[in-house]
Structure 1
Amino acid sequence: MNRLAEIFSEQGELITHDGTYQNELETIKVIRVLPVHKRQRFNRLSTQLLEDLEQPQDRQKCAERSRSLREEGNRVYKTKSSKNNADQAECLLSACRLYTQAVLEAETAFDELCLSFANRGMALQDYGYYEQAYDDCVCALEFGYPKKLQHKLIMRQAHCAWKLGDAKKLGEHLACLEQLQLNPSYCQKLEELQQQLKMLQGSQKAESTQELQKLTGDTHKISMDSSTRGRYMIATKRLSEGDIIFTEQADCFVPIEQRLICQKCAASLLCAPIPCPQCHQRVVYCSRRCRDLHKYIHSYECAAYRKDLLIMLGVSHLAMRLLLTYLPDWLPQLRSASNAQELWHRLMQMAATDANCSPAPQSLQSMGMLTHLDKLPPAELAYHSLCANLLQVYLFKCTHFYDQLSSSGSTASLEDWHLIVAALILRSAGQLLVNAHVGNAISLCSLPANEFPLLQPALWQGPHHLRRGCLHKFAQSTLQTAINLPYLSLCNHACAPSIHTRFDGCVVSNFATRPIEAGEEIYNCYTLDYRNSMCAQRRQQLESIYKFTCCCDKCLRVQPDQDYLKFHRYRCERTQCGKSFVPNQSSLSWWLQPDGNGGICCSACQTPQLTTWYDQFLALLEHCHESEARRNLYKAFDNLNNWLLDYHSLKLSLANELIVACFAVKEDGVTLDDLDYGQLARIIDFQLAGTAAQYGINSLEYMTKLTHLFDLIAWGKHKCSVPQLKTMRAALNNLPSETKVIFVNYYNDFIEQLCKFD
């Protein structure tokens, strides 16, 4: 990152802008029309940076690390025969985890890579992850698994195909095995699978599948009013709270901070990640299918990941991915253009395509998104211009991206294409600054970046079935993706949005948060909403990033912060006063400031608050492993009612710390009694009610807090009523599909059957 800053600083000194902004093409031209000596220096700096960032692989060391991990996995796997069923499951996952690390460490040491895939496939099959085990067998063969041993993998593929109910694949593998000379043991397995094939063919029914449309829902339309606000979205019929408005499947996203999620579908819960061997463990996929579907895009990004270039460039990475994804669709319409100006003019004509009546292709929606590059400070515009130029140089020097341009039929010169490629990346970066979204997901707490939730042996009793009392391990919501959603971007901003967005990988669904009348505009929220931020804070962010002043109903009220401030109301500690108050804005979250303890004053009598109750609570929290301290801690929490009113933000924070601490000491072997569990249930109920008030019952924040209550019920330490049970079960529908299956399984395994109703 420092090297990039140095290069950009030197390059920035070589270029000058005259202060007027025309468009992205003219901005990039400023770089291209430098005097010869300056341009040569500028280009050498870009080339030198790309060379400096190269990180060569040491294949021998990769092989040694991979072999060591695989052999340790073998040792663990062999112990399964002496285990009972529960310990066998843990043993198999432990082996899978080691084999996965071996797969990641192998990189281009293909002799080791294929063996690691083969062994992981064996363990995955035994555990019950048949689809992933099948993929691993194919990967092992793909990377050169020894021919004399290939019958083992084909037999595993046949077994997995049977378990998956795939008669076609099962038949193909059995036909292959029938041509081989097998020992008696394998012959017996072959005969058994042949019988299974007959049964499968007899019972299998043809099923039709319908591919997910990229955009669904007919309860809305987009209207255009170029004289006032541009495009916006309105409802064509009345919508009830909870109705789905539309679903959008994104063509383009990138993992935030290079998280190890599937680069094609954004799945974050992986049990058998398949890496690109060239990328130093930075790119993985959830399946071979996703890897193959993403092959075209990754062929142009692989070298950049190997250089660790993309993490330095922020939004420009997603901008480049938009170019990689959409340019092939645009090229046929650019054949008649003979120079950069004509290419740009044609592209801007395409960007102006009217998507008012029916949604245009996502490529055109994206190219037509709003941008505020013309309003950026000169330094920021220069930074994004340098990023775009660097990525264009990278695509030209480090990939075969330009091959498709030379064969596109256009007579434009190479220099013209340099301009267009950089200008398109800059344009997309400017659009994404104000239109990109951030996708979130529930994740496993405190898990290292190179570990995978589904491979943690202590958590699972079977595929996607947690052990009793382990759901609270998923009490964390993290940002996973920067994602391009041009259709959702058509919704204007309001601090009280009328939609709730659920991210399910790269599929995004939007639900009505309240009744919406026919003809009413549909609003999204670009910032923290009115319940979780001050009006001035939102306005500053909206004006800085989105270049407008919010005039929604919540901001135009006489007291625009009343909903937020009700989570920050205190009662004065001074007996003679005792009035409720809200401290000044700079002190609202004083406990999060390094030197903020006790830094609030009563706004009625100006008396500084001692907040000894806060210090006492934290002191007791440190001794949570002691029974007497926990008793006093519950009392101290109740005592907070004297000073922190309603669902005070600090009280909710302390409730969470108390709950997490009690669960942690239980995990460490401390025995909690019925009084502990009763107090915990009461405090969790308070936390859930406060979270619902602040974020809504549909939020991931609510779902992460619900995990602790589910575990209390699973332990048989809490009972709930029928209405409560129905509410909790319905809340699971707000989860992304990969997380929902885990939560629903947990509910079915432990919750419903243990709840006794009066």
Structure 2
Amino acid sequence: MASSSSSTSAHVNNNKKFAVVAAAPAASHSLSLGDLISLQLERLNLSELVYNDELQLLLLLEAPPQRRTKQSMTNIQVETEHAAIVDGEDGKAPLSKAESADDLIGAVGGLSMSPTSATKEPQLDFRTHVMKWFQQLRKQTASFKSDEESRRIREAGNDSYRKERHALKACDFFTEAMFLAPAKNSLAAAIAHANRSTVLHDCGMYAQSYDDCLCALDLGYPEEYLPLVKLRQASCALKMRNFTLCEEHLHELLHMELNEVFETRTHELWHQCEVLKSERFEMAVQTGDDLETHESKCYEIAWYGKTSSMRTIRPVAKNSTVFEEEALVMVPSGNSRLCDNCGVTKFVEFPCIYCSNRTAVYCSRQCRFKHAPIHALECFAHQIELFEALGDVFAMPRLIQLAFRMLITGMPQVVGHFRKKPTLNKLWAAFNGVLTERTDIAYCSLLRLETHTDAQDVETLAALAVVAHVLAIYLSKCTTFFDQLERNMSTSTKLSKCEWELLTAALLLRHICQLRHKHLVHCQSFVLPADPHIFSPLNEFQLWSAPMHVKSGHLHLIAGDVAVVAYTVYPCTLSLCQQSCADSISKKFSGRTLTALALSDIQAGATIYNCFCSSGNYQQTTREERLEELQCRGINCQCEKCLRSNPDEDFQKFHRYRCDNPQCMQIFTPTTLQHARNLRWWLSEYYTQPEQNGGELLICSQCDEAQKLEWFWTFTNSLLDCELIEERCKLYGAIERADAQLMELHECKAAMARQLLEQCLMVHREGAAVLDDWEFNKLGSIMRSALPSAAAQHGSQSLEYVKHFAYFWDIVALSNYKCTDRELMQMLNALEFIPDEYKEIFINYYEDYIAPKFAEESYGSIMDTQV
């Protein structure tokens, strides 16, 4: 699994500095993003660069060299009067009109590209090189799809379904065939959709099967097989109790020439539909007013200049909802498959047939339709993997894509409000003035957010400005975005393409700087240890006994790790909270929806705090780690946890040792380790290498003796041969000896328990070794004793805690090992705080394997209590 970066700044990679070239790249030279940045920065004197805002910086980059001086800065100053939305004077556009070269429209439909005509004007040279770079990216991604490979995978799916009778495996094959089908041969994708619809129907996933039928028809499924698809649509509609839709498809079938089998099946469905319709009965249904609680929100926002504070206006009980908001914009992180529209992570994929690889996928046709206005502007960028190419220079290309979505989502919302003849200066003044005061436009909540610009890092800021300009050129040359904006404007006066480019580039740069501040939200969820839909797309079927039902002993693979699956912005709630390393809220991400729940009882009038450090709060990280990340995001944390004399006091209680020197035996906590960034030395490659075995890793602060840690070296070596009973016994012994040195709640206990159970369950699952009741009891006791550490450090309502007890549930499912009713209830309560799609999987697993083993014992205890 690809781990997410802990840093949130869009900094330039140190390994990829901008090579400043003396001249433009030759025709034979392969362009890179670094070259494009150099082309714009080579003539700038960054140390003398003077600008007041993002648009002025873009104008400096656009202007010829003779205008890039302090003396001539006044010639390109931006007007500051409030205009565009309110009445104002018309201004003259300071830029040249749109160039006469043909606009290049790519994106949806896969239209080809042609280079722009060369020009000697300096401001057009950069556009020519950008278009050349786009062409190079297009050539690199042209071979991602293969009709022959799609057909081969589809035939493998047919064999899995007909011969092996393994529906879930066949479904994965057909999905893979869709991604490999070339856009110019939509028949291959149509057949894959039709075949998968058969499998999904057999699995009881009728809504997805019906969507697949529609996709097959849209992509030109052969007309001679149309009755087969219509019959399946009717069957799916009947299963979904949509009788009107079912009858519609049955009427279509009755007007076709059907063979005897199809005609018989059509009449059978008609009869079933009539029977089910006659069985319907009226039910007393509560009205919408009856269901509403009419409970007002429990918070208010106070503004102090450009800073904000969220406060409660009434008491809030522990685990109660403080606020809830749907993300205004969202992009997948790439760590897991994610519906590009609604943000769910477990679904049957409906891809865009034009995009390369799995860049844009959806959980349904409805989500794909809802996201179409956004995807139409991104599709060609996905085809050439434009956002991935940004990663060659910038550490977080998804941050730039999120800023891009902020722009293309928001600008159409405001252009219809421009009443006067616009100029570039007036529009920019509006985006900095009156638009930030509007509360009836969603995009205005983004414009109000603070920005984080590092004045000392001028090179990075200028490089980001160039990238913003590159994306603006993409919108101009490869999409119809600017044409759409002008159609929505009520004035006949039009801006030139150059002016639109500069305006959107300036807004893009502002959004990037906002995301470098605290407003970028890392949405965490479970990710498979090796997500099959990224690394091995045909193996996920091995986890499931049925849709949303995991096989016994496989739950820990579903909750194998916690990672960032999406980046979002919540401008009306979370962004307005104040920073504190001691949070007031826990955050539940379910799709695009954020639900903030009170970690403890909150009194009326109390400030609501959030820790904006993605690596963890004061119990999970050291102050040095948090300080470094928060400073990169422009946050100076002054919370009570950071200002203590020992700010790492709470973190260190999870890292306390008893000295193994018989003459000492004192409890100590190490302060720093030379080869580990934090106190988690067991994760450092340096300390786990054989040549460092037994080195001076931990030094007792009481007696200055190096700890032998014999149990850790034994554990590390024996873990490699876990299929042997002798080695597993050594592991159990090492865990017991570790308990004598690792104090209660030590984080290493939970880490070692997870490693042990992961390896033992793997060898049991693959048949390399068969664990008996004695071993299952050992493993159950080890994991059970580690759970309090995870609950104390991360909270019993956290994903980390659920990740740990997933291993414990697998042991219970495979054996007769049990825990107390109170412990079980704590685990079940924790499921209320995980994404809804995973909650369903965990509940199904509980009902399939856990509840039956507790039923008899629980019934007996209830009877005893009653007596």
TM bracket, shorter-chain basis: over 0.9
* C-alpha distance 364-625 of structure 1, shift in aligned 2 (>3 A): same
Q: CA deviation at 1:191?
A: 1.4
Q: Is the 8 A contact 1:258 1:311 kept in 2?
A: no
The structural deviation recorded for 1:391 is 0.2
- Alpha-carbon spacing, 1:661–1:160, altered in 2? closer, same or farther (3 Å): same
Matches for 1:632-643 after TM superposition, within 5 Å: 632-643=730-741
State the match for 1:707 in structure 2: 806
Which residue identity does 2:346 align to in structure 1?
A: L
Alpha carbons of structure 1 residues 726 and 60: separation in structure 2 relative to 1, 3 Å: closer
Judge conservation of contact 2:310–2:607 (CA < 8 Å) in 1. Answer: yes
Q: Which moved more, 1:692-701 or 1:534-543?
A: 534-543
Q: Are residues 643 and 60 of structure 1, via their aligned partners in 2, closer, same or farther at CA, if it must alter by over 3 Å?
A: closer
Q: Note if contact 2:658-2:743 (Cα within 8 Å) is conserved in structure 1.
A: yes
Contact 1:264/1:290, CA 8 A, preserved across alignment:
yes
* Closer/same/farther in 2, CA of residues 335 and 209 from structure 1, 3 Å limit: farther
565, 587, 601: which one aligns with 1:480 = 565
Tell me the residue number matched to 1:610: 708
Which amino acid is the alignment partner of residue 718 of structure 1? Y
Given the superposition, is the C-alpha separation of residues 113 and 208 from structure 1 closer, same or farther in structure 2, using an over 3 Å criterion? farther
Matched, 1:519 2:549: no
Alpha carbons 1:351, 1:365 under 8 Å: kept: no
Match of 1:297 in 2: 374
SS at 1:328's partner residue? helix
Over aligned residue pairs, what C-alpha RMSD do you find? Answer: 2.6
Match 1:191 to one of 255, 264, 267: 267
SS at match of 2:673: helix
Deviation at residue 104 of structure 1 after TM alignment: 1.0
The residue aligned with 2:783 is 684
Counterpart contact for 1:350–1:364, Cα < 8 Å: no
* Structure 1: gaps (5+ residues): 81-87
* Greater relative contact order, per chain length (Cα 8 Å cut-off, separation 6+): 2
Match of 2:680 among 589, 611, 619: 589
514, 531, 538: which one aligns with 2:619: 531
Amino acid at match of 1:396: S
SS at match of 2:211: helix
1:443 CA displacement: 2.5
Tell me if 1:332 matches 2:416. yes
**Using a 3 Å threshold, how does the CA distance of structure 1 residues 540 and 266 change in structure 2: closer, same or farther?**
same
Measured against aligned partners, the alpha-carbon deviations of 1:560-610 in whole angstroms (never above 9, x if no partner) come to 211001111122232222222222323523333333353222222222223
Alignment correspondent of 1:83: none
Structure 1 counterpart of 2:661, which letter?
Answer: R
Residue 256 (structure 1) aligns with: 333
Contact 1:271–1:455, Cα closer than 8 Å, also in 2: no
- Residues 172 and 537, structure 2, Cα contact 8 Å, conserved in 1: no
Q: Which moved more, 1:237-246 or 1:5-14?
A: 5-14
CA distance in 2: counterparts of 1:282 and 1:259, whole angstroms: 11
Match of 1:663 in 2: 761
Residue 343 of structure 2 is aligned to residue 266 of structure 1:
yes
Change in Cα spacing, 1:444 to 1:149, as seen in structure 2 (3 Å) is same
**Cα deviations by residue, 1:305-362 (Å, 9 ceiling, x for unpaired):** 111111233212111111111111100123424211100111222443276xxxx543
Matched, 1:575 2:631: no
Contact 1:107 1:281 in 2 (8 A): no
CA distance in 2 between counterparts of 1:645 and 1:174 reads 69
Partner of 2:251: 175
Query: Equivalent residue for 2:485?
Result: 405
More helix by share: 1
CA shift for structure 1 position 439: 0.9
- Provide the C-alpha distance between the structure 1 equivalents of 2:335 and 2:408, rounded to a whole number of angstroms: 18
Aligned with residue 99 of structure 1, among 169, 174, 181: 174
2:337 and 2:191 map into 1 onto residues whose CA distance is 22
Give the CA deviation at 1:675: 1.8
Instruction: Map 1:6-45; keep pairs closer than 5 Å.
Output: 6-17=35-46, 18-35=48-65, 38-45=122-129
Structure 1 residues 335 and 387, CA gap change in structure 2 (3 angstroms): farther
TM-score normalised by structure 1 residue count:
0.93
Give percent identity, aligned residues only.
31
The answer on whether the counterparts of 1:132 and 1:272 sit within 8 Å (CA) in structure 2 is no
Deviation larger for 629-638 or 270-279 = 270-279
Change (3 A) 1:297 1:125: same
CA distance 1:216–1:704, shift in 2 (3 Å): farther
Which residue in the other structure is 2:298 paired with?
Answer: 219
- Residues 608 and 278 from structure 1, CA distance in 2 versus in 1: closer, same or farther, beyond 3 angstroms? closer
Contact 1:276 1:283 in 2 (8 A): no
Q: TM-score, normalised by structure 2?
A: 0.81
Q: Is the 8 A contact 1:279 1:302 kept in 2?
A: no
In the alignment, the residues of structure 1 paired with residue 571 and residue 42 of structure 2 have an alpha-carbon distance, to the nearest angstrom, of: 35
Q: 1:365 aligns with which of 432, 440, 445?
A: 445
Distance 1:365 1:61 in 2: 41
Instruction: Answer yes or no: is 1:432 the counterpart of 2:515.
Output: yes
- Residue 523 of structure 2 aligns to a residue whose secondary structure is strand
Structure 1 residues 210, 451: closer, same or farther in 2, change over 3 A? Answer: farther
1:258/1:726 CA distance change after superposition, 3 Å: closer
Q: 2:229 aligns with which of 130, 153, 162?
A: 153
Give 1:614 shift: 1.6
1:141 and 1:738 mapped to 2: Cα distance?
29
Larger deviation, residues 204-213 vs 71-80: 204-213
1:59 shift after superposition: 8.6
**In the alignment, is residue 381 of structure 1 matched against residue 461 of structure 2?**
yes
Q: 1:547 to 1:714 in 2, by over 3 A?
A: closer
Aligned residue for 2:42, secondary structure, equals helix
For 1:564, what is the secondary structure of its paired residue? helix
Query: Shift of the alpha carbon at 1:131?
Result: 0.8
Deviation sequence 1:170-195 (CA, Å, 0-9, x none): 12111211211212211221112112
Q: How does 1:26-105 map to 2 (within 5 A)?
A: 26-35=56-65, 38-55=122-139, 62-79=146-163, 88=165, 91-105=166-180
Give 1:84's aligned residue: none
State the alpha-carbon separation in 2 of the partners of residues 370 and 619 from structure 1.
51
Of stretches 642-651 and 484-493 in structure 1, the one that deviates more from structure 2 is 642-651
Can you give the 5+ residue segments of structure 2 that lack an aligned partner in the other structure? 1-12, 17-31, 66-119, 391-396, 862-867
The Cα shift of 1:19 comes to 4.1
